[in-house]
Structure 1
Amino acid sequence: MLVNTKEILLDAQKNKYAVPAFSVYNLEITQAALHVAEREQHPLILAVGERYFSTLNIEGFSSLIRTFAHNTSVPVALHLDHAYKKESILRAIRNGFSSVMFDGSSHPFDENVRLTKEMTEISHLAGISIEAEIGSLARGAFSDEEEGSGALTDPLLAAEFVKETNVDFLAAAIGTVHGLYVSKPHINLELLEQIKSKVDIPLVLHGGSDTPEEIIRKVIERGICKININTDVSVQAMTFLKNAMKAGTYLHLSNLMEDMQEVMETCMTDMVRICKGNN
């Protein structure tokens, strides 16, 4: 069933688990995520990044996702990830997205507040929820995200930001990166606890890929309700494709894509089971 993202995350916050937000940009990765959610009977967020709008027919793709989601037995949300443009948010609203993320983290604080507040008003008028970001993740290896400053979230500014903008969930920068880590990760769990003590809305962890399982479990215990995953799935699929091309055993694309989907499902299943926590 397709639901508002806020509905999913409020339940996750109440029951102390997390919901994976898998980046999707083709049929196979979308089917993989939905198959795993059904098997594991766990809520799911399908995230479409603004950066994919140039290569996707978003009207057709969102229609496909909504059709799939309506036929699932678990709550599913369709989320616009890292939108920098107002027109992208409007486009997502017109195409039935459950939520949007406006990323104003590159702007000075006051400008981020002003722009995010405007996007919140638009989203709430349309009946969908909105995510925003304070702080900024650096870009690691094998990521297709834009480069960020790596600035960590200030708990006091986070509280002020949420109060001023009325966003529904907040991405907190605590030391993760987009992509794979190029050095040993230093995730600031104490900072997360401080943010949690100041902010009462669901918290989001960007940069879930390559983050050690024990850290993922600890951030969930400390209030993270949504975990974004992109690169881990991409790396698994690309590794499979490289090995398949080298072996030369596939004669038809359909067989190759079917097996690649199974590989992605294995990777996604691991993350979903971690996100379940003790539930």
Structure 2
Amino acid sequence: MSEVTTQRPHPPSKLPKTLGMLATLAVLLVCIWAVNAPWSRLLDAPGIFGDYLRLMSEGVLANPTADPHQGYWVSALQYMLESLQMAWVGTMIGAACSFPVAFLAARTISPAPVVAVTRMILNVIRAVPELIIAVAIMMPIFGFGPLAGALALGVGSIGTLGKLSSEAIEAVDPRPVEAVSSTGGNKLQVIWWGVVPQALPEILAFWLYRFEINIRAGAILGLLGAGGIGSILSQLFQRRVWDRIGVTLIVIIVVTVIVDQISARVRHRIIAGPKGSLTPGREPMAEMG
């Protein structure tokens, strides 16, 4: 009988972890040096930010019913409403186009060549930011205004929603699909009765989440003349009207937070169901850019 050893096992070497941390630090230092940024100005940033915050707060803290501040709030709300409309139209365009495309990109539905081509197209769309789509394609065709912004958001939404929706389709429970197929249903009937009812709640949640993202993206597109709250904000920055800039930023923050909260509750309701408990294995997937 062999003797039972009482020696404690040797702990694993910490050398790989240490080398990895040192390599990460080295890459960070190289990046800091390569960008050649005036890092010394970071020391002045708190004071400069405080000055701008004081200037912007003059408009926010002023009487909103008195002229001209009443006009500031009304104008900011009108432009924010335009941004919401742009985001909604862009989301609906992305949802309508990505829904059928998602089935072509799902490995459990379409043949491999179709999946490969469809996913490559979705990857190309996701690789191009909405900003580039608006400047390089939409504005030269449709000119400045909310139409170019909404279409740019719509095209950008197709790439993300198509990928996420295809993954939701691939993750459905195969048992209902097999049940519909065993009753003699054709391919379209199997998809409509076996796949869509399972994947649709999660796909709807992705659409709502994309709407939240499009609100923020729409504000950025407006800085280039694509309509919405960003267009007036760009003009205010050029004129350095800080009190009105403060009012506009507060409207953006408040409206965006309210929409996010409402959308989050609706998404949770859609996925969790009436009882508020998620079905096992159906947690919402993370958003991918």
Give TM-score scaled by structure 1 length: 0.25
Q: Which has the larger radius of gyration?
A: 2
User: Higher helix proportion, which one?
Assistant: 2
User: Higher strand proportion, which one?
Assistant: 1
